């Protein structure tokens, strides 16, 4: 079924893959993971690389490279986002797919983990070109995705529109009798195309909730607390929006164009309106432009990395002043930085917990599509909060009971769930 399988041999490259492997190994050691199960979980199940031609507006043909890595499906269909970014490659997709496996297992969802994308800078293409690129990529993925097999969702530089194009292409290439059965081949769709209320804000809402749960645990009031956000896209914006509503103050924000600072506070809605009209944060006048490398050292209570991986490293971890780091992004903190942060007694709400609101929201959308149901925003948000609270409490109690950091605790819960599934079912044949 998978048209091109690439074996993972040789030493792992430094970067996100090395990072997720070290996190996994550490947690696996802590639970004395069955060595046979460790072998299975250390490697991805399937890796697909596709090269496909697309006609550009100029009439020229450009050939693109797309990826889909399926790490593990012991607990259910593969699930994970599609990213359009120049840094997308096989190793990045492997790392992000692994994180998805741990994330869905921790959340108690009937899913495995996958990730993929296209190695492009989408800013260089027109909307019509992006539509053709997306549709042709979907066609190239063919039967390697499917509503009960592998369900993509939005990630960096992809959104509900991207999902609508994928859905339409996938449905259009089925036989007439099969078409309407496939609404849940992707999640994060626009409401009119089978999307769910609340999915747009689910990840950011989840990031906010985990910060709120942490504050409750620490007996802190979020009112008046200051926060900084790296990345003002889907995750960064919604996390900021909910935090501001709770009385916290956004004082620094960074996007791909620069870092913007205002110690009196930056209005989240005003910033979002500006971004919508200007296309980025560049030129935002109600804040001062600050050097990018000063961002993480900003004096604040809460730090939310919500852009790319490997942003907090040994070179900047020591300057962080926040009391808590809420990882909206996947893999924003590398292992060396984590040691520094733990020594400084900074709490980390690990990515597989902190940003799991997104995949939980996706699960709700998938369920509604599958069962022909439509839930209200209130129902979705209420169910999301309940599920996330359960995960948060479990991570915190395992961390305390077993004397491990929060990330290791989250990984331990996820890996134990997978280990149990394998041990009970055995290995075919
Ligand atoms: P997005 O494309 O909507 O926004 C990305 C933001 O990051 C933009 O503001 C962009 O300018 C900024 N950015 C990009 N490169 C940067 C750089 N080098 N320095 C500073 N800022 C930079 O993406 P998103 O959907 O918000 O995803 C953000 C992160 O959250 C990713 O790590 C993603 O994997 C993770 N995540 C997303 C979801 C989801 O539902 N969208 C779910 C879970 C995790």
What would the pLDDT profile of 265-286 be if each residue is shown by its tens digit?
999 999 999 999 999 999 999 9
Predicted confidence at residue 68, as pLDDT, reads 98
Check whether 210 has a pLDDT greater than 80.
yes
Confidence of residue 15 (pLDDT cuts 50, 70, 90): confident
pLDDT tens-digit map of 95-138: 999 999 999 999 999 999 999 999 999 999 999 999 999 999 99
pLDDT at 299 over 90: yes
11 vs 350, higher pLDDT: 350
- The answer, yes or no, to whether residue 9 has pLDDT greater than 90, is no
- Residues 34-86 have pLDDT tens digits of 999 999 999 999 999 999 999 999 999 999 999 999 999 999 999 999 999 99
Determine which residue's CA is closest to atom 4 belonging to ligand 1. 233
Please tell me if the CB atom of residue 311 comes closer than 6 angstroms to any atom of ligand 1.
no
Residue 14 has pLDDT above 90, yes or no: no
Nearest-CA residue for ligand 1 atom 30 is 329
Substitution site in 231, 276, 283, 309 for ligand 1 pocket (most atoms within 8 Å of beta carbon): 231
Q: Kindly report, residue by residue over 368-415, the tens digit of the pLDDT.
A: 999 999 999 999 999 999 999 999 999 999 999 999 999 999 999 999
Residue from 411, 333, 327 nearest 16 by CA: 333
Ligand 1 midpoint to CA 74 (Å) = 28
Q: Which residue lies with its CA nearest to atom 28 of ligand 1?
A: 307
Residue identifier of the C-alpha nearest atom 27 of ligand 1? 156
Ligand 1 site, residue 312, Cβ cutoff 6 A: no
Q: Separation of 402 CA from ligand 1 center, angstroms?
A: 33
Give me the chain's average pLDDT, please.
95
Question: CB of 240 closer than 6 A to ligand 1?
Answer: no
Euclidean distance between CA atoms 116 and 381, whole angstroms: 27
Predicted pLDDT of residue 180: 85
> How many angstroms does the Cα of residue 329 sit away from the middle of ligand 1?
6
Catalytic residues: 115
5 — pLDDT class (breaks 50, 70, 90): very low
Q: pLDDT tens digits, residue range 228-273?
A: 999 999 999 999 999 999 999 999 999 999 999 999 999 999 999 9
Residue with tokens 């990840």: 203
pLDDT, average across residues 313-329: 98
């Amino acid at each position: 079924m998978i048209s091109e399988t690439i074996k993972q041999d040789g030493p792992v490259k430094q970067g996100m893959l090395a990072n997720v492997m070290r996190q996994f190994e550490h947690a696996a050691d802590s639970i004395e993971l069955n060595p046979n199960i460790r072998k299975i979980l250390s490697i991805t199940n399937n890796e697909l690389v596709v090269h496909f031609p697309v006609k550009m507006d100029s009439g020229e043909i450009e050939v693109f490279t797309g990826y889909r890595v399926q790490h593990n499906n012991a607990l259910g269909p593969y699930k994970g986002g599609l990213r359009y970014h120049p840094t997308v490659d096989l190793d990045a997709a492997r790392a992000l797919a692994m994180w998805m496996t741990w994330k869905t297992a921790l959340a108690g969802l009937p899913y495995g983990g996958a990730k993929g994308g296209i190695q492009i800078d989408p800013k260089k293409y027109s909307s019509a070109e992006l539509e053709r690129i997306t549709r042709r990529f979907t066609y190239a993925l063919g039967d390697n995705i499917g509503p009960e097999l592998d369900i993509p969702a939005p990630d960096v530089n992809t959104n509900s529109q991207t999902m609508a194009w994928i859905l339409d292409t996938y449905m259009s290439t089925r036989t007439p009798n099969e078409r309407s059965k496939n609404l849940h081949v992707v999640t994060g769709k626009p409401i009119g195309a089978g999307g769910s209320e609340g999915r747009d804000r689910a990840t950011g809402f989840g990031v906010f909730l985990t910060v709120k749960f942490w504050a409750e645990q620490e007996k802190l009031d979020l009112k008046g607390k200051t926060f900084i956000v790296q990345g003002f896209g889907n995750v960064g914006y919604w996390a900021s929006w909910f935090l501001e509503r709770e009385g916290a103050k956004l004082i620094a924000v960074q996007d791909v164009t620069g870092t913007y600072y205002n110690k009196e506070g930056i209005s989240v809605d005003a910033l979002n309106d500006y971004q919508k009209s200007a296309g980025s944060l560049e030129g935002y006048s109600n804040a001062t432009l600050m050097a990018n490398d000063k961002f993480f050292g900003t004096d604040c209570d809460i730090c939310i990395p919500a852009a790319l991986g490997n942003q907090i490293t040994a070179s900047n971890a020591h300057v962080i002043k926040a009391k808590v780091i809420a990882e909206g992004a996947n893999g924003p903190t590398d292992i060396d930085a984590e040691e520094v942060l733990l020594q400084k007694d900074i709490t980390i709400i690990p990515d597989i917990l902190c940003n799991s609101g997104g995949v939980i929201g996706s699960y709700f959308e998938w369920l509604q599509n599958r069962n022909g149901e439509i839930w209200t925003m209130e129902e979705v948000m209420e169910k999301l909060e309940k599920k996330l609270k359960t995960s948060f409490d479990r991570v915190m109690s395992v961390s305390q009971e077993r004397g491990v950091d929060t990330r290791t605790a989250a990984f331990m819960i996820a890996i134990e769930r997978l280990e149990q599934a394998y041990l009970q079912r055995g290995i075919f044949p």
